Amino acid sequence: MVLLSLIATHSDVDLETVARLSAGASQVSSSLLETGSAVTGSVVLATCNRFEVYCEAKSEADIEAARSAVVAEISRHSGLSKDLVSRSLDTNTGESVAKHLFAVGAGLDSAVVGEREIAGQVRRALIEAQEKGTASGGLTRLFQTASRTAKDVGALTALGKRGLSIVSVALELATDLSMDTDWSAKDVVVFGTGAYAGATMALLKERGCTRISVYSSSGRAESFTASRGGTPLTRESLPDALAAADVVIGCSGSESQVSAGDIRRVRKSSNKPLIIIDLALTHDFDPDVREVDGVELITLESVRLAAPAEQVESLKQASSIVADAAKAFSELQLSRQMDSAIVALRRHTLNVLDSELEKVRAQHGCTGAAEEVEFAMRRMVKQLLHVPTVRARELAASGQQDDYIKGLEALFGITLDQPVERRRPSAPHGPAHHGSTEADNSEDGADTAASA
């Protein structure tokens, strides 16, 4: 089995394209396996700044077919052409798969370097895939190791100890833009009830903000505020809350955007300035709201540009931890694959030995001579297997494990059995966790406007 990943991130692709690729993200993994493609397992990681598909294929020879299958499914679910999808996705194979994911989970590839929220998203991506039955054994080990590596980076380096995240940087920008920096005096409206909205509420309270109202287009505001505080809003009470607001924060990714005309209409009798923070991947607010008099708009791009650089030494330490973990994981994967090959060769050889020994026993019975022959033959087989076992380790270390496996097939007719991964029963397909609706965001706590 081999791992590969197809990656579109804020570093290489504009956020609008990332959002379009993410449309229907939750269906991609299941449909890949249902089509009977070269893909034997799949996990999708979709956040505000990235869309990544991790796959397991049967062999190196299946990588291109697996990539084509992934591109086709993303195209089908997003409505984008295969050519655009293919051009937007970088492909990682081998050790690069682990190194990239481990860096992502540790916050090294985030818009705000060192932020910790992405580690939770990596963990939830695996849980979602396990619930749908798409996470193979290799992918499960990959994502579990990524989570452990993220914990190591957090424990062994100073990276991220300042608690920076997308929303914390956005709130700092809002503070800088405000005439009054006292958050306890501000009226804030939050759009969304998912996990990221919950994190936003917590950070607002840390800054002393108590006058927080919450709106949910799916009607979840009352249950959300019952456990987290704040005032629930309905469609009828929303306009008055927006008219009185000092800050509005969007993290729902609702299908219906608030337009510049909507803001002008509800704010026509208000003279105080308004700061809008739009953290949703698919935008809760039309970018034209920045043209409204008295309105300042903070977007994900604003946050990315304002994010402070982490200390060089901490980043160096974290990168070293990630690189070492990726190398160790890749070596373990190769070792597991070669163990299967060695076991298959030994099983084949010992089966031949047992067959020949049966002939000896049938001819000579359980005599001393027969026992001496058996002892000699078993010792000879052990010696014969020594060199192939050593060579298996050597070839695995140099990345030539496929040559060894092909040699077994050519010389002995040994075909390795692919292990059957036990998967959890597929869960009913609910709304897409990373799609464009607020309901999607809140179903399993996936972060619609996640910080990486």
Structure-token match 């996936």, residue found:
446
Q: Is residue 393 a known part of a binding site?
A: no
> What is residue 160's DSSP assignment?
T
Q: Is residue 225 a known part of a binding site?
A: no
Q: Is residue 194 a known part of a binding site?
A: yes
Q: Which two tokens stand for residue 281?
A: 């991947």
Q: Which two tokens stand for residue 71?
A: 């591109």
Q: Is residue 57 a known part of a binding site?
A: no
Alpha carbon distance, N-terminus to C-terminus of the chain: 29
Q: Is residue 50 a known part of a binding site?
A: yes
Q: Which two tokens stand for residue 437?
A: 């609706």
H-run or E-run covering 52: strand 50-57
Identity at 281, one-letter amino acid code: L
Q: Is residue 439 a known part of a binding site?
A: no
Q: Is residue 115 a known part of a binding site?
A: yes
Q: Is residue 421 a known part of a binding site?
A: no
For residue 236, how far is the Cα from the chain centroid? 38
Q: Is residue 231 a known part of a binding site?
A: no
Q: Distance between CA atoms of 3 and 99, rounded to whole angstroms?
A: 12
Q: Which two tokens stand for residue 7?
A: 């990656």
In the set 48, 55, 209, 251, the catalytic residue is: 48
What 336-340 contacts at long range (C-beta under 8 Å, 24+ apart), as own/partner pairs, is 337/1, 337/396, 337/401, 337/405, 338/392, 338/393, 338/395, 338/396, 338/401, 338/404, 340/416, 340/417, 340/419
Q: Is residue 310 a known part of a binding site?
A: no
Q: Is residue 192 a known part of a binding site?
A: yes
Strands 231-233 and 211-215: parallel
Q: Is residue 196 a known part of a binding site?
A: yes
Tell me if 159 sits within 8 A of 405, measured CB to CB.
Answer: no
Q: Dihedral of CA 8/12/14/17: which sign?
A: negative
Known catalytic residue: 48? Answer: yes
Q: Is residue 49 a known part of a binding site?
A: yes
- Distances from the Cα of 434 to the Cα of 47, 92, 206, 298, 447, angstroms: 7, 22, 27, 22, 8
Residues annotated catalytic, as ranges: 48
Q: Provide the annotated binding site.
A: 47-50, 110, 115-117, 121, 192-197
**Which residues sit in the known binding site for substrate?**
47-50, 110, 115-117, 121
Residue list, annotated binding site for NADP(+): 192-197
